[in-house]
Structure 1
């Protein structure tokens, strides 16, 4: 972006410095015309927004890298380096295409199985159980996964579930020796299994907390601070005065490896990746489904012939193609793209950027920005407009009005 700043003539920089909200359309048009004449601008857009020709994109899946990490994880597992094995398996899951197969088995299901075995050995049975269930959703005819889940359920004391899983594993196991081994484990499990009659829970009195009085709020809008809410009366301490889902959200770059990309809570050991790109990580299947939609892979599908379909929420769908810009552009720029996409999806029109200054009231602070920040804002707005044109809607208009709406 620094190269683009340097090519802006001083006359145009002065216009940016002195500009107000009403000047945004004409100023954006002037900057857009300037950048369209520059080869380096078109090269930048090509690097950011064009889909990579190979799987080596910053956000794309990479089967070869996933297989290498899987083998490295297996070696670390065998040598007792469990923490490194966990890192390898989790990163391999992030990179593995959902339709990839290796040695006749779905690669993602195999990675979940390997990580489940590792969790079981590390004394983390709940994490192991969840990974087994994830593997079975992808590949329900995988006998080793049923066997592993049966062993984990036995560890957790879920004996009925353990017997069920081991019985399914025995029926699916192709080798006679494998069937006999599972039969021995079932016999041993039956000998140790004791049915326990649960004791009735003691009845305890439940205290119903006082219902707080209704807090009446009034929406206000000021030129200096934008939108807000005020109360006509004093609000008691620790009162919940308002709850609202964010219009759009994006995780900061320094939190990408440590926090869920949907609910923003800290990530557990058994992280779940996005099925279509390698950037997001989720703390649970609930967040994965809410962010990207469920996907189920029939066990009979062959990787080269199967093209998965994914129902994503609009916020993530336009970033989920292996393109570079969601990983490179600043988080607030990516968030601006999500706001625009969500608004356009809600309105059902995909040619013009909606009037966000009226819809969301986001332009109050523009006049107070420094000249350097204003110029940077305009450049990122134009770059984002081209990225959305490539990744979201090829019908999206490229003009000064659209760029000015992104600037708010």
Structure 2
């Protein structure tokens, strides 16, 4: 009864912590870069808050338990924002090459998909019965192990990456970030597409267990469906760089989103008890959604370059935080629509058998409704204006500006220099803004 409100409160809080982190990280240049130090500096606090969240003392009363969970979940979301925003922003700081960014996005998707399968197959079965003795200690031990592993991986990420793209000339604040967003049409359209795409995905996710149990024929099939979806995600993520280079990012995104729509339609059409058709549907959906999700992160990095070219403000963290905020909003919408959808068709929680109408409601919530939301995302992304050729031209001009700015610095133009290179640099910035 209390889990829903707690989840809702912390998700809203997480959206705002993303915005706060996005306009905090990246302001200060250090010898390790502007983003990477946050991975090492905040990840220990993230690990502590995670362990605390899954270590609620048994002796606490109901209200104290809720307060404990709220406190540690809020701390976890705050720390997570200050680790995830710099991590998600790194691709824009590591390279300006569009294909390399697609490789990074693909690797991220593969890592996330593999981790999800491992946790589902290895860790989740250990906690199927939450009534056994010592279950709280078991939760704590498992969380400590995962927290230590996370710290090691953050250290590897810190040591194996390098920020090579120079910072912009503008100061990153919430005001400058919002000004950049208002003039960054590619980012706005990307966020619009992400809102509906994630809304569709999480509508399906919210009822996926019900779909496995009441449509496919058993709750145990959930793992199989998830596994086929993950296989599709890994397969497409491994070729995302070649796909985006061959067809362009916008066309690839739209094509893969339509592939996700196809998978969702098959999910909606699958007859009750037809496991092979359901497996095929989730494989197709995994290819489509996994591909668009990877493409989204690659395209977001490109919008950072566009924002700097247009306004002079290079806000990797701010740009990524806006996308992250919108993604979480879409996730919240999807979770609400999934639950409300099956309830509207008469789904009875805990009932051994559901009515034909309730089963049809599950099919609509798992397939047809997400398909419509994904189609809206496709419509939005058809307006995405940043082509590969235009992005290459923007990167070239940004590098020319930086070279002129360096010459200006050497000739002390800040004290009244009238060099032609300085004048040209000022003129270029004036046109861009």
Q: Calculate the TM-score normalised by the size of structure 2.
A: 0.24
Structure with greater strand percent: 1
* Bigger CA radius of gyration: 1
If each structure's helix is expressed as a fraction of its own residues, which one has the higher value?
2
